[in-house]
Amino acid sequence: TETLASARSVAAYLLTQKLEDVPLTEIGEIVGGRTHAWVIFSRDKIAKQITTDEKLKTAIDDILKQLDK
């Protein structure tokens, strides 16, 4: 369950980075019916984590590069 929660948080972070014009409430719905407050919390949590977790930062950067293709 923790892995799913982490994956969902990363997905929310990625969506907020790539879909800046999409309301946070809609992003919350996309990732499983979460609230906009949860999306903000998750976005901020992952943003903080990538400053100290190089493996996570690399994984997220790789995903973002793939999305830009």
Q: What is the pLDDT of residue 32?
A: 94
First to last CA, the chain: 31
| pTM for this prediction | 0.89
Average pLDDT per consecutive 10 residues, the chain (69 residues; last block may be shorter): 81 95 97 97 95 93 92
DSSP state of 22: S
User: In this structure, how many other beta carbons lie within 10 angstroms of the beta carbon of residue 46?
Assistant: 22
